[in-house]
Amino acid sequence: MKEYQLGEFEEIVLLTVAILHDDAYGVSIKEDIETRLNRKVSVSALQTALRRMEKKEYLKSEFGEATAIRGGKRKRYFKVTKTGKAALDYSKETRMKLWSAIPDVSFEYSKAWISSALLPLPGLPNS
Amino acid sequence: MDKQRPSPPSWPTKFLAWFLKEDYYEDVQGDLEEEFQVKANGSSVVNAKRWYTWQIIRLFKPGMIKELEAQDSIEKETTMFKNYFKIGLRNLWKYKSSTVINVIGLSTGIAAFVLIALFVKDEISYDRHHEHADDIYRVTVKNYTVDGDISRQWAFASAGHASRLKEDYSEIAYASRFYPWAFPDINYQGQDFLGEQVIFCDPDAFDIFSFKFIAGNAESAFPDIYSLVLTRSKAIKIFGNDWEEKGIIGETVTLSRSGNEAPFKVTGVIEDMPDQQHFHFDYLAPIRFVEMIMGEDAANNVGGNYNWLTYVRMSPDANIPKLTQQANDEFWDKYIGQFQSGADARDFYDFEFQPLLDIHLTSNLEGEYETNGSIEQVYIFSVVGILLLLVACVNYMNIATSHYSRRMKEVGVRKVIGAFKSSLIKQFLSESLLVVVISVPLAIILIILALPYLNDFVGKQLIFNPLIQTDILVGLLVLMLLVSSMAGLYPALFLSKINLVQALKGEQSMNSSKWNFRSFLVTFQYIVTIGLIFAIGVIESQMSFIRNSDPGYDREQMVSLSLPRGDYQNETFRNELLKHPNIEKASFSSRIPTGRLADSWGSRFFKGDSAIATSFRLPVVTVDKYFLDTYGIDILAGENFREGMETNLQQDTIVTGYYIVNRAASEALGFDEPDEAVGKKLGYGPSAGRIVGVMENFHFESLYSEIVPTLFLTRDRYRRISLKLRPENIRETLDHIENVYAQFDAETDPNYRFVDDLFNEQYQQEERLGSMIKVFAAIAILIGCLGLIGMVGFIIETKLKEIGVRKVLGASSGSIWMIISNRFLILIGIAFVLGLPLAYWFMNDWLENFVYRTSVSPALIIMPAIIAIILTLLAIAYQTLKATKVNPVECLKDE
């Protein structure tokens, strides 16, 4: 089986792109992460993650419309590819495997550091 | 775009555009801007900007930045260039002798080229500073003989030409005459300035030429006929250094000449005329004043009396050939019609409008106001300058390619490591650049040292200062690049071509017996050397031919001076001079030999009672009866002038004339023997009389021109006196002359000249040309020799083993010397065959300028080859001896 490498931030970005579905471009992705997760995201970090995942073919992109507020520049819309979906699935799966392997006693002290991974996952749209 | 909307700061955006991958830029910048706008609306614009900038700075990281290809290669290149220069410097240091040869060659070559370029640039810049230079023409007049041949073309026109031409032809917008022959004394508040160069001109002069006014202006220059415009240096001379504070406009100075005085008001001051102008005037005054003095007739004269330098400014769209045609068709008929003799004036005169910009270099008409330059000289020097530069470059090429054996391994290793051919070319080009960069400062020092001598020689004030003259600085830089690429390209191509395997094995891939480009280069150098030696030989032999040729008159210890001004009897002056025992002979004349035969009248020859106008020009010199004796000229037939043989030439009275003609005139009149001419009737100008004697031909003018028919008559109108001195105590005799002169004219100095000096001055230009070519040819030969020594050294080095083997087998030093020389002798032979006809053709052209010229002797032809052979053999001998002295064991022991 193919290895799917996904960093923590990458996974968040990839999931957000999936959430936003047809409206996933730089600003909207950033906003979504910032509001939903209440964390600051720099353009630099976001772009790095996006481009890296595009290179890994988890994402694909195409130019969309331009608006005046953007100084006449076009948006680049991102979409999750099949590979991207597979990567997310794989990531989730491995996590679930691990989850199920945790003995109950471990929760007492491990709650804190895994909290960020415990997100309510909305249904993934089919790509 | 909405104006209310704040815009993001621009420099971070530019920065982003610079570093961000092009592919990302559009959407990323769009995103940033969109968010910036949201933030600017939400919080403050300042914060938004800060945020925007910060985001961009954070974007500057790997993955976002453009692929570093471009930057990377620059870095690589600079590193490599550093390496090239380091290796280059090491090589220069290691092979000091060839470095010295190259640097000496290139720096002298560049210095000589720059000096010549300065001279040429100055020569071609004449008169260009006038705003309307392209539209200014000089009116010149051609005179024709009865046969329709041009007899003279005058730089001057007649007094009445300017105004009539301007009036009749709308193409001529402005016309002005300059009358430069007045030389009045100027008096200002008791101070006398004698014989000042006051030029009288029409007011149009200020519209034609761009004279720069410092005080006053062109419009108010000539309010009346007593106005005077002077140059800055004359203002200083007359009014002192503080003339500007004094406010000299309106000051009155007195102009006087021959007892007549007139007060003139200063109306303006102009800048001194630049050196690069074909005339230099110190004062300008209205020509109406001269007309008033000379009278209306003189001012309206339209034929002859060519004393009026005339310039016109045409309208920019004027068609000059058409205008010339039109003027020549109409003017002479309209204003002269027919002469008394019944001939049409139009057959004897033609106008030619001479472009101002052609005057300095290509004009050498009758009565040029100042000595002009010569386009031939400019050509010759340009050729020599370029040849010098080429020879220096070729030198570098030769030496650099002889380095071959030394650089072979280096090139091999570089190739193995992965050097491209292009990078090897870059390497060798940067080496040549390095040598040039070292040579240029040296060249600059040479130029600065040599420039005063050059200036002295050509009588110019050329300036060389690259710090101030940006054109020279730029020129030097361009020259540097040009020379380094010219010199370096062939070695670079040659060395980069080396076969890798052979290079590393240390094999000789260059077969020394093969003909290659370098043989061509050496041949070229020999061609230049042989050609230049030949040129020197021809110039030298022509100059000595002239120096030693007998002009037909005595010029030793002969002194000539202008006559004192004032009222006195010529005979008294002559007798006072002759009182001194060392003054042997004295004679008055209008002109003296070495001068020009510029005065002439029409002449008629009588056959029976009918007079026929002679078809040739017959110039006249007025002399006294001592002239022939003083100058040692023989009477061939008839007799010398006696008392009472004066001819009084006045235009309106027919008088009796007594003439002596030269042999050329007697032959031109159709007499084979001089005896036959004696006693024949001749009319000359308004006089009619007989030929009393025929004298031997002599070169009145320079040996440039043929001996022309000339007529001599006596008449009490002389300009100069010639004195034949004894060789003893010349200094003391000259003192006596000065004293006597002072008795007659206390105000001016006797401007005496030795006739042999005047004689030599006629050929000064050639002497100058000769010495300059000699200097530059010597430099070329020096460079060539240096190159030869360097090159032979390397060739021998690559052949050390061969020499060793030959020596072991019993060859003598001499035979080895011959083997190496052989090849060069063949090249000399080729150069001789190719170069000499070229040089011969070039020099023959130059010789044709002289009517009396030397023939090119076989010695002159063989000489350059012999010199080239001797120099080559010496250079080779020097290196061969060094090589053959080495014990063969030394060079054969390794391997």
In the block, tokens 């030793």 appear at B556
Flag whether pLDDT at B747 surpasses 60: yes
Looking at residue B723, what is its pLDDT?
Answer: 92
Q: At what angle do helices A8-20 and A82-101 cross, to 10 degrees?
A: 120
Inter-CA distances, B464 with B46, B127, B474, B479, B776, Å: 57, 21, 13, 15, 19
Lowest mean pLDDT among A80-84, B265-269, B680-684: B680-684
Flag whether pLDDT at B309 surpasses 50: yes
**Within 13 Å and on the Cβ side, how many CA atoms surround A108?**
3
Cα separation, B845 vs A8, in Å, equals 92
Calculate mean pLDDT across residues A65-87.
Answer: 88
∠ Cα B248 B251 B254 (to 5°): 130
Number of C-beta neighbours around residue B725 at 10 A? 21
Cα separation, A16 vs B890, in Å, equals 84
Looking at residue B42, what is its pLDDT?
Answer: 82
Flag whether pLDDT at B652 surpasses 60: no
Interface list for B 64-93 with A (CB within 8 A): 64
- Tokens read off for B355: 């472009």
Cα separation, B620 vs B801, in Å, equals 80
Looking at the complex, does the CB of residue B603 fall below 8 Å from at least one CB of chain A?
A: no
Q: Can you list the pairs that B376-380 forms with residues at least 24 positions away whose Cβ atoms lie under 8 Å?
A: B376/B846, B376/B849, B377/B123, B377/B765, B377/B769, B378/B120, B378/B123, B378/B124, B380/B769, B380/B773, B380/B846
How confident is the model over B402-454, as pLDDT tens digits? 776 677 778 888 888 888 888 888 888 888 899 999 999 999 999 999 999 88
Q: Quick check: B31 and A63 CB within 8 A?
A: no
Calculate how close chain A gets to B488, using CA atoms only, in Å.
Answer: 48
Looking at the complex, does the CB of residue B28 fall below 8 Å from at least one CB of chain A?
A: yes
- pLDDT-derived band at B511 (thresholds 50, 70, 90) equals very low
Calculate how close chain B gets to A37, using CA atoms only, in Å.
Answer: 19
Specify the 3-state DSSP secondary structure of B352: strand
Flag whether pLDDT at B513 surpasses 50: no
Flag whether pLDDT at B894 surpasses 90: no
Cα separation, A48 vs B61, in Å, equals 9
Contacts with B32 from chain A: Cβ below 8 Å: 43
Task: Provide the H-helix boundaries in B144-185.
Answer: 161-168
Q: Which of A47, A67, A70 sits opposite B64 (nearest CB)?
A: A47
- pLDDT-derived band at B313 (thresholds 50, 70, 90) equals very high
**Within 13 Å and on the Cβ side, how many CA atoms surround A110?**
10
Contacts with B64 from chain A: Cβ below 8 Å: 44, 47-48, 51
Looking at residue B2, what is its pLDDT?
Answer: 45
Calculate mean pLDDT across residues A107-111.
Answer: 54
Calculate mean pLDDT across residues B684-713.
Answer: 86
Percent of chain B with pLDDT over 70: 95
Cα separation, B433 vs B205, in Å, equals 52
- Tokens read off for B748: 């001016």
Q: Quick check: A42 and B58 CB within 8 A?
A: yes
Cα separation, B131 vs B606, in Å, equals 55
Calculate how close chain A gets to B6, using CA atoms only, in Å.
Answer: 10
Calculate mean pLDDT across residues B546-569.
Answer: 85
Contact (Cβ atoms closer than 8 angstroms) between residue B543 and residue B765 = no
Inter-CA distances, B668 with B672, B693, B893, Å: 9, 15, 86
Q: Quick check: A25 and B26 CB within 8 A?
A: no
Calculate how close chain B gets to A16, using CA atoms only, in Å.
Answer: 17
Calculate mean pLDDT across residues B179-183.
Answer: 81
**Strongest mean pLDDT among A19-28, B145-154, B561-570:** A19-28
Flag whether pLDDT at B760 surpasses 90: no
Q: Quick check: B59 and A25 CB within 8 A?
A: no
Q: Which of A27, A63, A68 sits opposite B31 (nearest CB)?
A: A27
Give a three-class secondary structure readout of B696-748: CCCCCCCCCCCCCCCEEEECCCCCEEEEEECCCCHHHHHHHHHHHHHHHCCCC
In chain A, where the domains are located: 8-102
Question: Which residues lie closer than 8 Å to A95 by C-beta, 6 or more apart?
Answer: A117
Percent of chain A with pLDDT over 70: 80
∠ Cα B44 B45 B51 (to 5°): 95
Flag whether pLDDT at B191 surpasses 90: no
Q: Quick check: A48 and B61 CB within 8 A?
A: yes
Q: List the CATH code of the domain at A8-102.
A: 1.10.10.10
Inter-CA distances, B677 with B605, B622, B623, B695, Å: 11, 20, 20, 11
Phi-psi sector, B329: left (phi>0), alpha (psi -120 to 50), beta: alpha
Closest residue of B to A25, CA-based? B31
Cα separation, B736 vs B725, in Å, equals 12
Q: Quick check: B37 and A69 CB within 8 A?
A: yes
Cα separation, B106 vs B431, in Å, equals 14
Give the H/E segment covering residue B259. none
Looking at the complex, does the CB of residue B885 fall below 8 Å from at least one CB of chain A?
A: no
Contact (Cβ atoms closer than 8 angstroms) between residue B442 and residue B107 = yes
Give a three-class secondary structure readout of B422-474: HHHHHHHHHHHHHHHHHHHHHHHHHHHHHHHHHHHHHCCCCCCCCCCCHHHHH
Looking at residue B168, what is its pLDDT?
Answer: 92
User: Pairing relation of β-strands B349-355 and B213-215?
Assistant: unpaired
User: Where in B235-303 does DSSP place strands (E)?
Assistant: 252-257, 260-270, 283-286
Q: Which of A44, A47, A71 sits opposite B30 (nearest CB)?
A: A71
Q: Which of B2, B8, B38 sits opposite A68 (nearest CB)?
A: B2
Cα separation, B570 vs B791, in Å, equals 73
Q: Quick check: B1 and A68 CB within 8 A?
A: yes
Looking at the complex, does the CB of residue B29 fall below 8 Å from at least one CB of chain A?
A: yes
Inter-CA distances, B10 with A120, B32, B52, B57, B117, Å: 42, 13, 10, 13, 50
Contact (Cβ atoms closer than 8 angstroms) between residue B722 and residue B589 = yes
Looking at residue A2, what is its pLDDT?
Answer: 56
Looking at residue A126, what is its pLDDT?
Answer: 45
Q: Quick check: A74 and B2 CB within 8 A?
A: no
Q: Which residue has the higher pLDDT, B648 or B791?
A: B791
One-letter amino acid at B224 equals: D
How confident is the model over B814-867, as pLDDT tens digits? 888 888 788 888 888 898 899 889 888 888 888 887 778 888 888 888 888 888
Give the H/E segment covering residue B186. strand B185-188
Q: Which of A44, A63, A73 sits opposite B59 (nearest CB)?
A: A44
Give the H/E segment covering residue B155. none
Give the count of Cβ contacts less than 8 A between chain A and B: 74
Contact (Cβ atoms closer than 8 angstroms) between residue B240 and residue B232 = no
Calculate how close chain A gets to B75, using CA atoms only, in Å.
Answer: 27
In the block, tokens 């004393």 appear at B307
Calculate how close chain B gets to A110, using CA atoms only, in Å.
Answer: 34
Using alpha carbons, select from B535, B542, B537, B531 the residue that is nearest to residue B868: B531
CA B577 to chain CA centroid, Å, is 42
Calculate mean pLDDT across residues B451-459.
Answer: 86
Cα separation, B117 vs B114, in Å, equals 5
- pLDDT-derived band at B507 (thresholds 50, 70, 90) equals low
Q: Which of A44, A51, A70 sits opposite B33 (nearest CB)?
A: A70
CA B674 to chain CA centroid, Å, is 44
Using alpha carbons, select from B765, B766, B780 the residue that is nearest to residue B111: B780
Cα separation, B699 vs B763, in Å, equals 14
Calculate how close chain B gets to A93, using CA atoms only, in Å.
Answer: 30
Flag whether pLDDT at B1 surpasses 50: no
Calculate how close chain B gets to A64, using CA atoms only, in Å.
Answer: 9
Contact (Cβ atoms closer than 8 angstroms) between residue B108 and residue B100 = no
Q: Which residues pair with B266 in a beta bridge?
A: B228
Specify the 3-state DSSP secondary structure of B347: helix
Give a three-class secondary structure readout of B585-623: EEEEECCCCCCCCCCECCEEEEECCEEEECCCCCEEEEE
Sign of CA dihedral B641, B646, B649, B653: negative
Flag whether pLDDT at B622 surpasses 70: yes
Cα separation, B187 vs B254, in Å, equals 5
Lowest mean pLDDT among B151-165, B662-676, B732-746, B760-774: B760-774
